[in-house]
Amino acid sequence: MVENNSLICDKVFFDQALEIRFWLVAVFGSAVAVLSLVSNISFVASFFHRTRSSWLYLVILGFCDLIYDLGFLINKPVTISYNRWQDLLLKNVVLSYIIADWTLLQTIYVTSVLLILCTVFEQFCIAKSCRLAHYIKNNRKSIVFICFGVAMASHGSMLWEFQVVRNSKCIGAFNEYNVLGTAFMMTYGHIFEYLRPFMQFGPPFLALVILIGLFLTKHGAKVYGPVRQSDVDAEVKHKFKNPCSRRRGQSCFAYLSSIPYRLACIRSFCRWFRKPIRRLWHRFRRCRDCETDRSAAAATDQTYIPSFTVANEAMSVIPLLVSACRPWIYFLCEPKRQRNTEEINDLNHQFGEEIGQHIPHL
């Protein structure tokens, strides 16, 4: 907090390693955001006609990345720029939309991680030949609306948790307008303090666990009863000229196509670790105000604060790198993986019909 009780601490937090942060976020981050923007526009335009298939989740995910990239461009680089140049007009422009931008970015992020979880879970159900897969396929649009509704319920209240307040003692100064917490945040903030980290960390963790299970799942016809599995495996070997290389290819493409989801999990983990680091930062801030520990606090300011600020900004660039790489991995790997999955499903269906003809009582 500064002398006017602002949540935006210009003289303590934003001045640390400002030059490094400017080149890292305002220059490099903006370039990556523009690249991600172009990649996702191409991806959405190329696969928009496939929204009736499992590509619906991926197209909506690309659209979420578009919004995230735009929100980043009008938030982080501009914020660091007005602190670097001490531009009062630019700061007032940013504060006019900063709360809505925060809410939009958090809502879009939670929506994207929930879509990733739904995509991975659907692939897992198809690979395991689960009856739930048919229900999920027929209700994809409803699942997308549910994901967005859950994200709005957990982060939409941010619009009422912050407000821009004018300080009459600093008219014309850099701290004339600042962001403060509202009474709503003071009353219900403890509820969202535990709900939001769970919504940001839980779905990527579950998606990572399902991805591991999906990668270890053996694709093949499951036969029970008097028909031996070895006979079916022999038939599969007879139909595929080189089953070993084909299986390795399927595993390779399945692994490559899961890389974007793994990167998204890493992105969420980075966001999760920012919270304890911030708490440690505030503890050091309180320690600095103690008269008995002024020397230790001063040494901490010189060593810890610049490293923290640079690491914190580097974590904010990770989602942009993920968003820029994900469409190209989809272009290269996802169509091949889906063709392999469709061939396996057709083969399983064909074996089921043949078994039903030879053994009617099954």
Tell me the mean pLDDT in the region 329-347. 62
For the chain, the first-to-last Cα distance in angstroms comes to 72
User: Between 360 and 326, whose confidence is greater?
Assistant: 326
β-partners of residue 164 are 179
Q: pLDDT digits over 230-243, tens only? A: 444 444 444 444 44
What is the per-residue pLDDT for 362? Answer: 39
Give the sign of the dihedral formed by CA 75, CA 114, CA 55, CA 220.
Answer: positive
> Which of 212, 229, 213, 211 has the alpha carbon at shortest distance from 221?
229
Q: Is 103 left (phi over 0), alpha (psi -120 to 50) or beta?
A: alpha
Rounded-to-integer distance, Cα 80 and Cα 23, Å: 10
What is the per-residue pLDDT for 147? Answer: 93
What is the per-residue pLDDT for 334? Answer: 61
> Which of 247, 98, 207, 206 has the alpha carbon at shortest distance from 158?
98
What is the per-residue pLDDT for 103? Answer: 93
β-partners of residue 165 are 178
Residues of the chain with pLDDT > 70, as a percent, come to 62
Q: pLDDT digits over 250-298, tens only? A: 444 444 444 555 555 555 555 555 556 566 666 665 655 554 455 555 5
Q: pLDDT digits over 312-331, tens only? A: 788 778 888 888 888 887 77
What is the per-residue pLDDT for 351? Answer: 52
Mark out the alpha helices in the chain (DSSP H runs): 18-21, 30-47, 55-73, 76-85, 88-95, 98-127, 132-138, 140-155, 158-161, 183-216, 229-239, 243-257, 259-288, 294-358
Rounded to the nearest integer, the mean pLDDT of the chain is 72
The answer on pLDDT for 149 being more than 90 is yes
Report CA-CA distances (Å) from 353 to 130, 185, 222, 348: 18, 61, 13, 9
What is the per-residue pLDDT for 161? Answer: 92
User: Between 69 and 325, whose confidence is greater?
Assistant: 69
Give 288-293 contacts, CB < 8 A, sequence gap 24+.
Answer: none
| Least trusted range by pLDDT, from 61-70, 139-148, 298-307, 326-335 | 298-307
> What is the torsion angle, in degrees rounded to the nearest 10, for the CA atoms of residue 143, residue 144, residue 147 and residue 151?
-160
3-state secondary structure of 177: strand
Element (H, E) at 291: none
- Ordered domains of the chain (ranges, CATH): 18-358 (1.20.1070.10)
Tell me the mean pLDDT in the region 188-217. 80
103 near 158, Cβ under 8 Å?
yes
3-state secondary structure of 165: strand
The answer on pLDDT for 128 being more than 60 is yes
